[in-house]
């Protein structure tokens, strides 16, 4: 459990700040492009491509943050009607599905990165290897896998926490 705690804490400590800085950079670059295009007739040729690839990375890496905070999209109306052990079984089952999905996404993502890397494909504006953009898939899935495993181990050690049904409490805890 200590290994997963260390990895999780390391990721969460830096990734939130990195995502914030990337979002700020995307905003600045796209603003410069809009002003440059409409006021001066010129723009940064790499701006939109950089924004696209940054958003891809933010999406996949951010999914691990969502798993950690328990704010990943889920349909839990069915589970909320359950009580006792049946509810616990379904909660654990959901976490195991998350582990299986993350592991599958790592496997498929690595295969895609290898194929794209072997093709030598590069991005049109920035001339970056396209494998860089596709590497977001296994990277984000790895972080999700770590967080799902950490949650399962935490449930095994400390038991399953009582779920909050109050939306305000859930939002407050996620911030």
Chain position carrying tokens 């052990």: 85
Q: In this structure, are residues 67 and 46 in contact, taking their beta carbons and an 8 Å threshold?
A: no
Burial 11-44 (b: 16+ CB within 10 A, else e): beeebeeebeebeeebeebbeebeeeeeeeeebe
pLDDT at 130: 95
pLDDT value at position 10? 82
- Comparing CA positions, the residue from 56, 163, 151, 59 lying closest to residue 99 is 151
Alpha-carbon gap, residue 82 to 72, rounded angstroms: 20
Structurally, the chain folds into a number of domains equal to 1
Tell me the per-residue pLDDT of 93-106, one tens digit each, with 9 for 90 and over: 999 999 999 999 99
- pLDDT for position 9: 81
CA gap 116, 105 in Å, rounded? 16
DSSP structure string for 12-44: HHHHHHHHHHHHHHHHHHHHHHHHIIIIIS---
Place of tokens 């181990």: 153
- pLDDT tens, the chain, 175 aa long: 678 788 888 888 788 889 999 999 999 999 999 999 999 988 888 999 999 999 999 999 999 998 988 887 776 777 777 888 888 888 889 999 999 999 999 999 999 999 999 999 999 999 999 999 999 999 999 999 999 999 999 888 888 776 545 455 656 666 6
Cα–Cα distance measured from residue 86 to residue 92, given in angstroms and rounded to the nearest whole number = 10
Boundaries of domain holding 53: 2-174
CB atoms within 10 A of CB 127: 9
Residue 120, helix vs strand vs coil: coil
């Amino acid at each position: 459990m200590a290994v997963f705690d260390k990895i999780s804490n390391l990721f969460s400590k830096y990734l939130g700040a990195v995502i914030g800085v990337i979002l700020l950079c995307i905003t600045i670059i796209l603003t410069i492009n809009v002003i440059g295009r409409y006021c001066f007739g010129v723009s940064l040729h790499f701006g939109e491509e950089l924004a696209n690839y940054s958003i891809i990375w933010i999406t996949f890496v951010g999914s691990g943050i969502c798993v950690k905070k328990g704010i990943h999209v889920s349909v839990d109306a069915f589970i909320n009607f359950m009580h006792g052990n049946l509810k616990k079984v379904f909660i654990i089952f959901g976490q195991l599905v998350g582990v299986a999905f993350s592991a599958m996404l790592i496997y498929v993502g690595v295969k895609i990165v290898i194929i794209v890397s072997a093709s030598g494909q590069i991005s049109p504006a920035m001339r970056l290897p396209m494998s860089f953009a596709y590497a977001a898939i296994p990277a984000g899935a790895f972080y999700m896998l770590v967080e799902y495993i950490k949650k399962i181990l935490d449930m095994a050690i400390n038991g399953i926490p009582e779920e909050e049904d109050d939306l305000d409490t859930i939002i407050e805890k996620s911030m």
